[in-house]
């Protein structure tokens, strides 16, 4: 890897992150990134900016589905079309996941429990049974039987993010310095673009990218 990442360097790039949270992923980052050709300063800068934003500055490795009824109406209005349905699910993360992720991405119906079992995990959130299966096959891991490892094992969290990065051909976009296109591939839109841009600019600064 062009740059060996250190605790001090990552703390400069992501000043919002706690040292313990950075340290958790440091060894895995240095080990795994070269395996996915995230091996130039510009590729590393873009990757770090995205995973830092997506994980809340390395705090979260599992999706937070603890929504109020109002938030359910706002975020998942398709699944909670009225106040009564939203109130019946509010502040019940497992129940919410099983409803909003049912019958898609390879998941079974709401009663199957697949929505919760295969909820978003990792630093670029892996979501849905089909995606766990594809990622696991690529990494040589049984993520169908043990999906929790994506959030509990720092190396697997980094590997799953790198797998997604590679599958979306994001190294090429990083080489072209295409922040907006990378963000759309990861987010589906441009949510948090200002924060991602700020993180990218700090990464460029401390990785000595002109």
Given the structure tokens 């959130």, which residue do they identify?
125
Predicted pLDDT at 50:
98
Contact 42, 209 (CB under 8 A): yes
Predicted pLDDT at 210:
74
What does the alpha-carbon distance between residue 148 and residue 117 come to, in Å, rounded to a whole number?
A: 8
Q: Does residue 78 sit in the same domain as residue 52?
A: no
pLDDT above 90: residue 131: yes
3-class state of residue 93 by DSSP: helix
Domain membership flag for residue 185: yes
- Averaged pLDDT of the chain: 96
Domain membership flag for residue 123: no
* pLDDT tens digits, one per residue of 137-182: 999 999 999 999 999 999 999 999 999 999 999 999 999 999 999 9
Domain membership flag for residue 106: yes
pLDDT confidence bin for 128, thresholds 50/70/90 = very high
Domain membership flag for residue 149: no
3-class state of residue 199 by DSSP: helix
pLDDT confidence bin for 2, thresholds 50/70/90 = low
Q: Does residue 14 sit in the same domain as residue 54?
A: yes
Domain membership flag for residue 15: yes
* pLDDT tens digits, one per residue of 63-82: 999 999 999 999 999 999 99
What does the alpha-carbon distance between residue 102 and residue 116 come to, in Å, rounded to a whole number?
A: 9
* pLDDT tens digits, one per residue of 98-119: 999 999 999 999 999 999 999 9
* pLDDT tens digits, one per residue of 187-205: 999 999 999 999 999 999 9
What does the alpha-carbon distance between residue 190 and residue 75 come to, in Å, rounded to a whole number?
A: 16
Question: And the tokens for 200?
Answer: 């990218």
H helix intervals, the chain: 7-13, 19-32, 41-54, 69-75, 83-89, 93-100, 114-117, 129-139, 149-152, 154-167, 170-175, 179-187, 193-206
As a whole number, mean pLDDT of residues 78-90 equals 96
What does the alpha-carbon distance between residue 43 and residue 33 come to, in Å, rounded to a whole number?
A: 10
What does the alpha-carbon distance between residue 52 and residue 103 come to, in Å, rounded to a whole number?
A: 30
Phi, psi of 121 (to 5 degrees): -140, 160
Contact 73, 83 (CB under 8 A): yes
Number of domains in the chain: 2
Domain membership flag for residue 102: yes
Question: And the tokens for 84?
Answer: 């009564």
What is the reported pTM? 0.93
Q: Does residue 56 sit in the same domain as residue 97?
A: no
Contact 132, 5 (CB under 8 A): no
Domain membership flag for residue 56: yes
Q: Does residue 98 sit in the same domain as residue 201?
A: no
pLDDT above 70: residue 1: no
Residues spanned by the domain of 91: 69-117
Q: Does residue 81 sit in the same domain as residue 108?
A: yes
Say how many CA atoms lie within 13 Å of 115 toward its Cβ: 18
Domain membership flag for residue 82: yes
């Amino acid at each position: 890897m062009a740059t060996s990442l250190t605790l001090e360097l990552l703390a400069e790039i992501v000043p919002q992150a706690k040292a313990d949270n950075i340290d958790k992923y440091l060894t895995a980052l240095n080990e795994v990134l070269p395996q996915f050709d995230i091996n130039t300063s510009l590729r590393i800068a873009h990757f770090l900016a995205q995973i830092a934003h997506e994980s809340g500055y390395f705090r979260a490795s599992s999706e937070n589905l603890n929504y109020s009824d109002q938030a359910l109406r706002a975020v998942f209005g398709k699944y909670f079309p009225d106040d009564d349905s939203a109130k019946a699910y509010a502040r019940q993360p497992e129940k919410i996941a099983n409803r909003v992720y049912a019958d898609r991405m390879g998941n079974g119906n709401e009663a199957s429990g697949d929505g919760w079992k295969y909820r978003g995990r990792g630093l670029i959130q892996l979501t849905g049974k089909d995606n766990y299966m594809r990622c696991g096959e690529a990494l040589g891991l049984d993520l169908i039987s043990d999906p929790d490892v994506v959030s509990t094992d720092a190396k697997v969290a980094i590997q799953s993010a790198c797998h997604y990065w590679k599958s979306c051909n994001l190294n090429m976009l990083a080489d072209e310095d295409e922040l907006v296109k990378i963000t759309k591939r990861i987010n589906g839109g441009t949510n948090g673009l200002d924060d991602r841009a700020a993180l990218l600019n700090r990464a460029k600064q401390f990785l000595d990218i002109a």
